[in-house]
Chain A
Amino acid sequence: MKRRLFLASSLASLGLGGCGPIKDSLTNGPFRNVLLSTEKLNQSVIGTHGMARAYTDADVDREFRVNGLDTPSDDAYVGLVKAGFRDYRLVVDGLVERPQRLTLAELRAAGDRTQITRHDCVEGWSAIGKWRGVPLGTIVAMAQPKPAARYAVFHCFDRDQSGQSYYESLGLHQAAHPQTLLALDLNDKPLDPAHGAPVRLRIPTQLGYKSAKWVSRIELVATLHDTFGGTGGYWEDQGYEWYAGI
C-alpha cells in the first residue's frame, strides 16, 4: 500500500513536478505585480467596517495559543520583565504635536475597554481571548497627530533570528476603530511575556499578524516606505498583505 502510494506520488511529481519552474517564474516574474494588485481591490471593497463579533466568557480559550516570533530574550526586555515593567514607557512620536512617554499606569488611566473577540490567524486557525486595555485611538489622539500623519507604525521588542525587528502598521482610520486596542490584559490577567507583555496591539477586524506583540513605540508617519522593508510590517516585507482584512 505504502509503496503504491509512493509510486503514485512519484509519478505525479514527475508529471506535475515539471510545473515547478513554471509556478516559480509566474509567482516571481512580472506577473507578480498582477497578483499583488488584488490587495488594493480587497481593501477598497471590504475595508474596515462594522464590529467584530463579541463573545462571552464561556467561549474564551483559557490557554490562548502562542504563535509568531520567540519571546524576546535580550537583556533590555528581560530587565523590564524582572522589574515588573516599572521602567517601561510606551513612546508615541513621529508626526505628532505632543510626543508621549506613557507608563503602564498612565496607559490604564487613559481608557478601559474589555472585548472578547476571536483571533483569526493567517494560517487558518482561530482562538477566542478576553482582551482589556485602552483604545488605540485614544492614545493616538493624546499625541495630536500632525495633518501629514497617515499611518501608525508599531515598533516591537522582538527580533527574528537574523536580528530583524518585528514591526507593524495601521492606517489612522484602522487605528481609530473602536475595537482596535492596546491590550494590557489577556483573560483577566496582565499579559505574560509569551503573549506580548506588557502591551500588545489587538485588532480583531484583521488577521493575527497585524496584532503586534511587545509594542515599545508608536511612530506616526506619512509613508511606510521609509521603515525597514518599506511595506509596512515584518510579515508584509515577506510577501503578506498589508491589508489583512481578508
Chain B
Amino acid sequence: MVGERVYRHGVTARTSHWLWALAMLVLVMSGLQIFNAAPYLDASDKSNPQKRVLAFNAGMADGHPVGTTTIFGATFNTTHLFGYTNDGMGAESERAFPAWATLPGPQDLADGRRWHLFFAWALFVAFVAYVISAGLRGTLRELIARPSDLPKLLPMQLYYLRLRRDPPPHGTYNPLQKVAYTVVLFVFFPLIIITGLALSPGVDAAFPWLTAVFGGRQFARTWHFTLMALLLGYFATHLTLVLTTGMWNNMRSMITGWYTLGKHDGVGP
C-alpha cells in the first residue's frame, strides 16, 4: 500500500479548490478594506458603542500618533500595525488594517465592495461545484465526520503530538481531518455566506428572519468577521499540514490529482 499511487482528486475538485483559495484571499483582503470604513464590531442590531466587542482607534500620546486595538474592553497598543498604520500612500495614518492586508491597498470602499461582491459569487460557485463533484466521486462520503470518529480524535491528536506511535485506524482521511473538513465545509462556509447576505438591506427586507437569527445586522457583521478569523485559522493549520506532511505529494495531488500513499495514510476504512 505504501508507495502506491492513487487518483485522489478529480478535475472539478482541484479546479474549485484553487478557485476558492483565490476567492478566500481576495475576500479576506477586500473584506478588511470594507471593514476599515467602520472599524468596529457590535453585538447588536443597530450600531451601539455599549455592545462593542472590537474597535480600532487612533489618537495621540506624548505628541506621537498611536493606534489601538480594543477587544472586549481590553485595549492594546498596536501602533504601526492596527489603528494607526500603513495607508498605501507612502505614509501612516488612521486606519484599522494596513494597506498590505487590504484590496485595494489605499482607502477605497467602492472598489473594495466591487472585489468582495464579485468574489463572493466565485466562492459560492466553487463551493457548490466542489460539493457536487466530491459528492459524485464519493470523496464527500470519505471526509464527512461521523459519531464513530469522535473516540478516535484524542488518539489521533496524541499521534500528531508524537505521544503515540501509530495513528488510530481510519480511511482516506483521519478523524481530525474529517472533523475539520466537515466543520469548514458545512458550518463555516455556509455561515460566512449567509452572514454576508444578512448584511444586505435588500436581503433583510426579503428574508427578515435571516438577520434576526444572527442577532441583528451589526451582530451579523460581527459573526461574518469572526467566521473570517476562524477560516484564516483553519487555513493556517491546513497550510502547515500541507507543508509538513509531504509538501510535493500534497501539492501534486491538488494539481494533477495523483497522490502517493505514505505511512501516515490509514489502511482500510
Contact = CB atoms under 8 A, between A and B. Distances in A.
Interface of A: 1-2, 5-6, 8-9, 12-13, 15-17, 19-20, 23-24, 27, 32, 34-39, 41-42, 46-53, 59, 61, 65, 118, 120-128, 204-207, 235, 238-241, 244-246
Contacts of B205: 48-53, 204-205
Given A9-B81, A13-B86, A205-B201, A126 B46 contact: yes
25 contacts: A5-B79, A5-B80, A6-B79, A8-B81, A9-B85, A9-B98, A12-B101, A13-B98, A15-B100, A19-B105, A24-B105, A27-B111, A38-B114, A41-B121, A49-B202, A52-B205, A122-B37, A123-B109, A125-B38, A126-B45, A127-B46, A205-B205, A240-B109, A246-B201, A246-B203
Interface residues of B, number: 47
A16 B81 contact: no
Contact of B100 (A1, A17, A241): A17
Nearest to A51: B205
A241 B117 CA distance: 11
Given A5-B81, A12-B98, A37-B118, A52 B113 contact: no
Nearest to A246: B200
Contact of B202 (A9, A126, A246): A246
Q: Which residue of B38, B199, B204, B217 has the most chain A CB atoms within 10 A of its CB atom?
A: B204
Interface in B79-115: 79-81, 85-86, 88, 98-101, 103-105, 108-111, 113-115
Given A204-B201, A235-B110, A239-B110, A118 B206 contact: no
Contact of B46 (A6, A32, A41, A128): A128
A32 B111 CA distance: 9
Contacts of A206: 201-202
Nearest to A206: B201
A27 B38 contact: no
Given A50-B208, A126-B218, 6 more contacts: A9-B85, A13-B98, A52-B201, A238-B110, A240-B113, A246-B201
